[in-house]
Amino acid sequence: MHASERVAVYSTLLNIFLVFLKYALAVFSGSLALLADAIHSSADVISSASIWAGIKISRRKSKRFPYGLYKVENLVALVTAGLIFLAGYEILRSVFVASEELRPERLPVAIAGVILVVLLLWAFSRYELKKGKQFGSPSLVADAQHVATDLFSSLIILIGLVGGYFQINFPLDRAAALIIAGLIIRAGLKIVIDAIRVLLDASLDFSTLNKIRELVLETPQVAQIISLTGRNSGPFKFIEADLALKVRDLEKAHSLANQIEQRIRHQVANVDHVIIHYEPIRKETVVQALPLSEDYHHLSEHFGEAPFFLLITRQVQDRRIVRERILANPFVEVPTGKGIKVAEWLLSLGIDEVT
């Protein structure tokens, strides 16, 4: 079982435990708010179990889904947001509508029980948020925020119980409920926006893209980054780069691209795919070499024995001549292997064509 699945299982187990605890406390104290909260927790069992299933399914890749099912996690996060809105609605309703028949003599025990619930939820939401961020799992982060909203609703119940115990007339719980409902709606909206952004293939955040850009430019053979894009899919990142390399050899270019890919994978978390498209630097001019005879005007018959070479630099676009030079052949007097020596010399001068 993957570590992120395990966190989702813990969340499910916690919610099952809370259903029993809240129900027992509700019956014991006569608090309707606690009863409503116990019902809410039973819906949460389904929610956290579906997050577990979502994480499990999302790790599968198949022929039908070659890019993985990672976005199932984002869909689950969206559903979780719906449940968070429902929780907000229930908080408002239970405080404004329900009239309680509390048993004051049993309230200290109920208060202690709800404090336990609050502490459990507080600790677990912190733990789950940390793990969710560590694994880059959007559904765990959404669940952690859900647990935090559950904590708020338990806090309101706690305030109501304390108010009932001291028989305070001011509706403490209602004031708190309004603030908390606002916070819940904000958390739910953030989850919805994040999930929809990923489902619509929004760009990776700019700090991650800049980090990747710097990693790519650390390779000296990269002349230019023509384009660099990336997107999220569930907890994973897909990156595409189009690079101009100062390398003409295909094998070298390929191994360079592999090195760049490895560097990105080591430095950026949760990368599923890196696609690097490479191309040579575009040349703007070509240099042509013509062997000349002694009079400078006629082409020489023999390549190796030509006393002079005319080098013509042309624009690639319109073949217009931008520069002409005449160089003396330094190997004219060499007895053997002239042809090869001259060819090497011309190559070292950056000649593209020989006529």
Site residues for Zn ion per CB under 5 A: 44, 87, 150
Instruction: State the Cα–Cα distance between residues 295 and 279, nearest whole angstrom.
Output: 43
149, HSE (Cβ side, Cα atoms, 13 Å) = 34
Nearer to Zn ion, 40 or 71 (CB): 40
Q: Which residues pair with 231 in a beta bridge?
A: 203, 238
Nearer to Zn ion, 44 or 261 (CB): 44
**CB-based contact 126:141 (threshold 8 Å):** no
Q: How far is the CB of 42 from Zn ion (least distance, A)?
A: 10
Q: How far is the CB of 139 from Zn ion (least distance, A)?
A: 14
Instruction: State the Cα–Cα distance between residues 270 and 264, nearest whole angstrom.
Output: 10
Nearer to Zn ion, 78 or 274 (CB): 78
- Find tokens 């070479």 and name the residue: 309
Question: Residues, the chain, total?
Answer: 355
Is 124 exposed, middle or buried (CB count within 10 Å of its CB: 0-12, 13-18, 19+)?
buried
Nearer to Zn ion, 78 or 87 (CB): 87
Nearer to Zn ion, 35 or 306 (CB): 35
Here the tokens at position 339 are 């042809």
Q: Is 333 helix (H, G, I), strand (E, B) or coil?
A: coil
Q: How far is the CB of 87 from Zn ion (least distance, A)?
A: 5
* Helix, strand, coil in percent for the chain, rounding step 5: 60, 15, 25
What are the residues whose beta carbons fall under 8 Å from the beta carbon of 251, sequence distance 6 or more?
A: none
Q: How far is the CB of 6 from Zn ion (least distance, A)?
A: 20
Q: How far is the CB of 176 from Zn ion (least distance, A)?
A: 17
Query: Phi/psi zone of residue 234: left (φ > 0), alpha (ψ -120 to 50 degrees), beta?
Result: left
Q: How far is the CB of 191 from Zn ion (least distance, A)?
A: 13
Nearer to Zn ion, 142 or 204 (CB): 142
